[in-house]
């Protein structure tokens, strides 16, 4: 028990538990098929991370960097099992390699029959056109070109492409650690960087599942750091690039332009071309939005606020209501947390609010507020980001969806139960 009071011992104990959990995940094969195994090892890694967090500054930064890289690389060779998004990544890259705009057609449409990919039937939401913005598409295209140059495009599995995706997005992930250091106040810098580098949610989402979110996370954190340092034009460029990788960073325009954080003219002068120019090649060849704006109407998921409002009203009305909630809340956050020194905190809370308001929420969406929150010394975004991989990978949402179906099918029975309860309360009152 005395050893547990020693920060250095807690830090190394936490690191050992974290490593054991992540190694267990990497060695477990299909983590969806072995959901209990995933939950056990992820909870072990999370427990180790929690212990480590109580003494993060006791670890030498160089050792942390080495450990962080090694714990990421153990996931490099395997195909993702927690997500099948990589099929869409590979497909979009090969569609572009065939000289076709990826935003024009759905995967099953006949104009794409000339595109060869054995996993075409495995693409999720094949009723939708692609939703990935142009700079993410540029990565897909580059990886497809590299795979073709290596002569591996006809392999039975897209392992070569997935490894390249992990390396590209993983490089952004590691760069984000440097951006967190750059953004955080001096007193928070070491702890924030250590916790980001060793966060199991970050490692699993980027290196096991190969999600593209890491690129946008890096540029969002970089934009905040540049604002703090009065580099408004460069901050605008960074945020524009982030929004050209993923659309969500557009929400950060509110705290960037309000609250005395930037010169609006210089910021917009950097943001506008960085955001617009990547869209132009796709716009002139048939479109650059795909099914992006179908979210909330034909495609929803894991958003309690939106689903509640859509149930009370309609998806269309709910979309306007959550937009209003976000705009009002983001303006309040921006004006409450004024000044450049509050940029990390304002950005973190704004992204947290934005994700709560989205009609579609995935666990990896929380990587941006997690990184910004660490730089700001906030624990709530980190806690949410740590928990959501469990809620997404375990069949919790399927159970909720099933419960909702049963509820829809049993309106009359529910009404009867409510009436019975009302009568029983009346009898008791007598």
List, for residues 308-318, the tens digit of each pLDDT value. 898 899 888 99
DSSP 3-state of 259:
coil
Report pLDDT for 183: 97
User: How many Å apart are CA 175 and CA 221, to the nearest integer?
Assistant: 10
Please tell me the number of Cα atoms within 13 Å of 375 on its side-chain side.
Answer: 32
Report pLDDT for 393: 66
Report pLDDT for 42: 96
Q: What is the pLDDT of residues 215-231, one digit of tens each?
A: 999 999 999 999 999 99
Report pLDDT for 417: 40
User: How many Å apart are CA 284 and CA 103, to the nearest integer?
Assistant: 12
Please give the model's pTM, rounded to 2 decimal places: 0.89
Report pLDDT for 407: 52
Report pLDDT for 425: 40
Average pLDDT of the chain?
89
Task: Note whether 205 and 392 are within 8 A (CB).
Answer: no
Cβ contacts of 2 within 8 Å, gap of 6 or more:
none
Judged on CB neighbours under 10 Å (0-12, 13-18, 19+), 324 is exposed
Beta-bridge partners for 360: 301
Report pLDDT for 205: 96
User: 3-state SS of the chain: helix, strand, coil percent to 5?
Assistant: 70, 0, 25
DSSP 3-state of 95:
helix
* CA dihedral over 276, 278, 282, 288, signed as positive or negative: negative
Give how far the C-alpha of residue 297 lies from the chain's centroid of Cα atoms, to the nearest Å.
21
Report pLDDT for 430: 43
Q: Which residues of the chain have pLDDT under 70?
A: 1, 293-301, 393-430
Report pLDDT for 411: 47
DSSP 3-state of 405:
helix
User: How many Å apart are CA 140 and CA 91, to the nearest integer?
Assistant: 8
| Host H or E run for residue 202 | helix 200-203
Pick from 1, 15, 76, 79: which is nearest to 45 by CA? Answer: 15
């Amino acid at each position: 028990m005395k050893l547990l009071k020693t920060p250095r011992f807690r830090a190394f104990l936490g690191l050992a538990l974290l490593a054991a959990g992540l190694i267990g995940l990497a060695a477990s094969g299909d983590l969806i098929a072995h959901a209990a195994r995933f939950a056990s090892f992820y909870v072990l890694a999370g427990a180790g991370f929690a212990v480590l967090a109580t003494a993060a500054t006791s670890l030498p930064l160089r050792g942390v960097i080495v450990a962080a890289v090694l714990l990421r690389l153990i996931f490099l060779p395997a195909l993702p099992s927690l997500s099948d998004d990589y099929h869409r990544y590979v497909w979009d890259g090969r569609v572009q390699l065939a000289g076709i705009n990826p935003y024009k057609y759905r995967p099953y449409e006949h104009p794409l029959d000339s595109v060869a990919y054995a996993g075409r039937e495995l693409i999720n939401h094949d009723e939708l056109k692609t939703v990935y913005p142009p700079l993410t598409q540029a990565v897909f295209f580059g990886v497809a070109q590299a795979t073709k140059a290596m002569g591996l495009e006809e392999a039975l599995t897209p392992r070569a492409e997935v490894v390249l995706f992990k390396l590209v997005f993983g490089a952004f992930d590691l760069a984000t650690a440097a951006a967190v250091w750059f953004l955080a106040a001096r007193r928070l810098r070491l702890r924030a960087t250590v916790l980001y580098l060793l966060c199991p949610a970050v490692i699993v989402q980027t290196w096991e599942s190969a999600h593209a979110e890491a690129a946008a996370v890096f540029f969002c954190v970089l934009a905040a750091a540049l604002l703090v340092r009065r580099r408004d034009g460069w901050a605008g460029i960074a945020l524009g690039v982030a929004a050209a990788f993923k659309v969500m960073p557009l929400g950060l325009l509110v705290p960037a332009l309000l609250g005395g954080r930037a010169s609006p003219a210089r910021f917009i002068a950097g943001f506008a071309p960085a955001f617009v120019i990547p869209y132009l090649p796709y716009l002139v060849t048939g479109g650059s939005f795909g099914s992006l704006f179908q979210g909330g109407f034909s495609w929803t998921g894991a958003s309690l606020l939106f689903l509640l409002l859509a149930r009370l009203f309609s998806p269309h009305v709910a979309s306007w209501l959550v937009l209003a909630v976000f705009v009002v809340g983001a303006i309040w956050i921006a004006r409450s947390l004024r000044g450049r020194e509050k940029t990390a905190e304002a950005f973190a809370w704004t992204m947290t609010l934005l994700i709560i308001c989205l009609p579609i929420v995935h666990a990896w969406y929380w990587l941006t507020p997690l990184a910004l929150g660490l730089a700001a010394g906030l624990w709530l975004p980190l806690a949410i980001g740590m928990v959501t991989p469990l809620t997404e990978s375990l069949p919790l949402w399927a159970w909720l969806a099933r419960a909702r179906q049963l509820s829809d099918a049993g309106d009359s029975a529910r009404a009867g139960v409510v009436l019975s309860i009302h009568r029983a309360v009346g009898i008791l009152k007598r």
